[in-house]
Amino acid sequence: MADFAPETFKKELINILDYWEKYAVDRKNGGFYGRVNYENEGIADAPKAVVITSRILWTYSMAKRLLNNPKYLTLADRAFQDLSIHFIDAKEGGVFWSTEASGKPLEMKKQVYGNAFAMYGLSEYYRATNFPPALERAKEIFYVLEKHAFDPVNGGYREAFARDWSETDDYILSKSPYIKSMNTHLHLVEAYTNLYRIWPDKTLKKQTAAMLEAILDHIVNNETSRMELFFTEKWESKDKVISYGHDIEASWLLYETAEVLKDEKLLKKTRDRCIKMAIAVSTGLSPDGALNYEYDPETKHTKTERSWWVAAEQLVGFYNAYQLTKNADFKVKAERSWAYIDSKFIDRERGEWFGAVKEDGTQVRGDKVNFWKCPYHNARACAEMWKRLEKNKK
């Protein structure tokens, strides 16, 4: 079995960071390529997304904070400038969804998911640098989301808007009229949590706690301990597909939010629910230790392809469940998760991780970088495991 030690995860974190420094930097247009193919060739005319730009900003800011290598600050600075110059909408507030390779705005609709990641990256950059404009821009996004996206009647946040924050029927990540989603709430509460770390504002705390409660009460099904995906304004569930990766990711991210808020009652409620979520998601594990992608209970169809981001999240999620329960079975699941990543996902020939692996173990030779393939899930997983295992040694 692959070595399950803090030094192993620190080394893999550095490998991931080195890959993105070597192949993802766009020296012609600035920022980072919107796409790098399997041959590690940057695609010069590929559009760029706010999600990947923000995730790169978060990753190198985190790396600077943990590893204190000046080259990571240089890359974080690069991502910060790209986000600030090309994605922030100075006229209407918030961030654009995408730009052309040159930096010209492309998709200008306001997706709450994209704004969440911009806030996440900016707040982490401030954690690493104490640079006031980063905090101010993160706060501006918070204010504009509270003004336009928050639902004061039913709770939670709407999914998407036109550029000027008026109504839209183009939701990008979901279909109208399903105007609230699991995915957006999961990553918005993650972003609010990171912002609260550096800006302990009372309103921010109140809204973060309320969002966590909304997720636990409306998105996580109390009977199945699984999250449901899409909802109407009044939280009517419209999709019963089980997303194993999101469930296991939420099982540790939601607990992290409760820890940061330091609300004992909410912490207990979240802890109990997160443990149940980790138990429930275990039904999606295959004999090889990897999680299937999703399951549709209506059609009885299981999507068996393994995804790089699911693999990263199951590693942390199962280890977090072990730390909460001391149940050795969860630790075994985490160790087997890492063994699968080590043998199937890490590309030792070309660097980084394969985006997908088929059920039979065949790696899919797809893009190394694109709108969704980024250094956030796997770099974060390695950093989390390094920190948690190092702490256990003391």
pLDDT reported for residue 382: 98
pLDDT reported for residue 333: 98
Residue 181 has a CB neighbour count (10 Å cut-off) of: 26
Check: CB of residue 176 under 8 Å from CB of residue 184: no
In the block, tokens 């981001």 appear at 309
The structural architecture, per CATH, of the domain 6-393 is Alpha/alpha barrel (1.50)
What percent of the chain is helix, strand and coil (3-state, nearest 5)?
55, 10, 35
- Per-domain boundaries in the chain: 6-393
pLDDT reported for residue 1: 57
In the block, tokens 């980024």 appear at 374
Check: CB of residue 119 under 8 Å from CB of residue 142: yes
Contacts of 185 (CB under 8 A, 6+ apart): 156, 157, 211, 214, 215, 219
User: Does the pTM exceed 0.85?
Assistant: yes
Cα(20)–Cα(42) distance, integer angstroms: 11
Extended beta strands in the chain, E state: 48-49, 98-99, 105-107, 110-111, 160-161, 180-181, 220-221, 226-227, 230-231, 242-243, 294-296, 301-303, 306-307, 356-357, 363-364
- Give the pair of three-digit tokens for residue 59: 């990753």
| pLDDT tens, residue order, the chain (394 aa) | 579 999 999 999 999 999 999 999 999 999 999 999 999 999 999 999 999 999 999 999 999 999 999 999 999 999 999 999 999 999 999 999 999 999 999 999 999 999 999 999 999 999 999 999 999 999 999 999 999 999 999 999 999 999 999 998 877 777 656 799 999 999 999 999 999 999 999 999 999 999 999 999 999 999 999 999 999 999 999 989 999 999 999 999 999 999 999 999 999 999 999 999 999 999 999 999 999 999 999 999 999 999 999 999 999 999 999 999 999 999 999 999 999 999 999 999 999 999 999 999 999 999 999 999 999 999 999 999 999 999 887 6
pLDDT reported for residue 338: 98
Closest CA to 142 of 193, 106, 107: 193
pLDDT reported for residue 98: 98
